[in-house]
Structure 1
Amino acid sequence: MALVTTKEMFQKAYDGGYAIGAFNVNNMEIVQGITEAAKEENAPVILQVSAGARKYAKHAYLVKLVEAALIDTDLPIALHLDHGDDFEICKSCIDGGFTSVMIDGSKHSFEDNIALTKKVVEYAHAHGVVVEGELGKLAGIEDDVNVSAEDASYTRPDEVEEFVSRTGVDSLAIAIGTSHGAFKFKPGQKPQLRFDILEEVGKRLPNFPIVLHGASSVSQEYVKIIQQFGGKLDDAIGIPEEMLRQAARMAVCKINIDSDLRLAFTAGIREYLATNPSHFDPRQYLTPARNNIKAVVKHKLVNVLGCAGKAN
């Protein structure tokens, strides 16, 4: 099976009241853990690559890893650029085999965001690639994304129709209270997503796929393991999974998950090396890390996203 776009995936997700998981990948073990879980649960999946991942692993290596996953699983997989911030990086990914790109012009004015997004859409559509745009700014830090709480802003529903019609984007990331990075809220704070905004956006853009970024739930199990074996992490909580399930039942067709994977992967390595200090074979300590990725993804597919069994 060849790489697919997200167009058919999102239509089925919208009609079925579930969401597709978009999981960030950085190396072979992460790709394997994600796609093995998706294969076992017969779930469609989006593998997404950030600018930071391209700097770390290089574009060609990541594309070939995803192509290997296609051969291994025969699943519908889309390869997506996460948070492209200019035309050139989007063009590079379109020319380099990606089937989907995100152009994040949210740091610009409304008019400049439209102009940049439209430019990417025109080039992408001419090459059979779909485009995700963004309105509103999520707070938090992750890879090259760094937005302070003061600069964050909710998406304005009265802008979404004009943005989509003038740009021609295929999906839209909105800001309703999620946050980039692992440590979104301190203990005692109550995360709250603005479902009123999501509902209004859904009314203004019927049958149109909406995307949630910054949607990791921050498993305390993995946080505690990292803390136990020498990691200096603060206690924090992420987005409650029931809120994500509610979003998936509404207009949200794609939910991005990255920090949960990083925590699980790191916890596996730290725990193994702490209990086996004389071992130095990477295959030994990367195996539990990969297994943790697989466990997290299986849980998300079945219990949060609702897309298990939806690959065919």
Structure 2
Amino acid sequence: MALTGPKEMFEKAYAGGYAIGAFNVNNMEIIQGIVAAAEEEKAPLVLQVSAGARKYARQIYIMKLVEAALQECDLPICVHLDHGADFEICKDCIDGGFTSVMIDGSHLPFEENIALTKKVVEYAHDKGVWVEAELGRLAGIEEHVVSEKNIYTDPDQAVEFVERTGCDSLAIAIGTSHGAYKFKGEARLDFERLETITNMMKGYPLVLHGSSSVPQEFVEMANSYGGEIPGAKGVPEDLLRRAAKFGVCKINIDTDIRLAMTAVIRKTLKENPSEFDPRKYLGPARQAVKDMVQHKIKNVLGCSNAI
């Protein structure tokens, strides 16, 4: 089976009021865990590759791992560049077989963001590749973008941005943020803003970044086995499920996978201090990824049996 683009899966998600999970991948165990979960749930997948992942694992290794997954399963899988910093990295990924790329000009002035996004769109569309862009800014740190506060997406600007750039989907800022420390007080997303944008752009797929929920059982597990992750707090899962009813077709999840893996590895090594076979701690970590992703697909994203 070949890689697919997001178009059909997003159209079905929009019509069905659910979201597709976009899960960041860095190595074999993560890819295997995600794909195994999606197989059981019969769910489409977006596998996201960040600039950091490309540097760590190298793009050719990641693509070969995805190729192996495609030979073993019968799932619609899209490979997506997460937070492309410039035209060059987007071009490299398009030329390297990615079926979707994100150009992140959210840190740029409005007109510069439009110009950069339009350049990527023109190159990508000529190759049949989907383009996600971002308008507004999320707090936290993600690859090349650092922001101390959220800058919420302006609905009127969103309409103009999409019309002028021709981008296929748009990541918006409504209160989510990158990393494990998303909220200090009560978690809140600006659903009024989301609903306004959705109503102004009927049928257009929106994206939420920074949408891990930071499950406290894994924070506590990691901390109880030597970790130091105090005060981590994510987006409540019921808010994410609600967002999928308002045109959000893709929800990005990375931190929760990292937490699950790290907590289980810490526990395994603490309970088996003489163990030095990587398979003995990476195996349980892979299962933790599978369990986490399966939970997200079934109970948060609502995309089980969506193939």
User: TM-score if structure 1 supplies the norm length?
Assistant: 0.97
Partner deviation per Cα, 1:188-236 (whole Å, 9 max, x = no partner): x101000011101001110000000000000111101110111111122
CA distance in 1: counterparts of 2:147 and 2:231, whole angstroms: 21
Equivalent runs, 1:13-52 vs 2, <5 Å: 13-52=13-52
Displacement of 1:183 in angstroms is: 1.4
SS of structure 2 residue aligned to 1:179: coil
Q: CA offset at residue 143 of structure 1?
A: 3.7
Look up the match of 2:104: 104
Q: Quote how far apart the aligned CAs of 1:144 are.
A: 3.5
- 1:81 aligned residue: 81
> Aligned letter for 1:246?
R
Give the CA deviation at 1:68. 1.0
Pairing 1:166–2:170 present = no
Match in the other structure for 1:70: 70
Deviations, residues 282-302 of structure 1 (Å, cap 9, x unaligned) = 000001100110010000000
Q: Which residue of 2 aligns with 1:217?
A: 213
Matched letter for residue 242 of structure 1: D
* Contact 1:223 1:235 survives alignment (8 Å): no
Q: How many residues align?
A: 307
In structure 1, give the amino acid aligned to 2:11. Answer: Q
Residue 146 of structure 1: how far off its partner (Å)? 2.0
Partner Cα separation in structure 2 for residue 236 and residue 287 of structure 1: 26
CA shift at 1:5, angstroms? 0.2
Residues 1-312 of structure 1: matches in 2 within 5 Å?
1-149=1-149, 152-186=150-184, 189-311=185-307
Residues 25-67 of structure 1 deviation map (CA, whole Å, 9 limit, x = unaligned) = 0000000000000000000010000000001000100111111
Q: Equivalent pairs: percent with the same residue?
A: 64
Structure 1 moving runs of 4+ over 3 Å: 142-145
Aligned-pair Cα RMSD in Å: 0.8
TM-score, normalised with respect to structure 2: 0.99
Question: How far apart are the structure 1 equivalents of 2:278 and 2:142?
Answer: 26
Q: How far apart in 2 are the matches of 1:269 and 1:115?
A: 44
For 1:287 and 1:62, the matched residues in 2 are separated by 19
8 Å Cα contact 1:160/1:204 also seen in 2: no
- Structure 2 alignment gaps of length 5 or more: none
Please give the per-residue CA displacement for 1:113-162, whole angstroms capped at 9, x wherever unaligned: 0000000000000001000010000001234432112xx30000011111
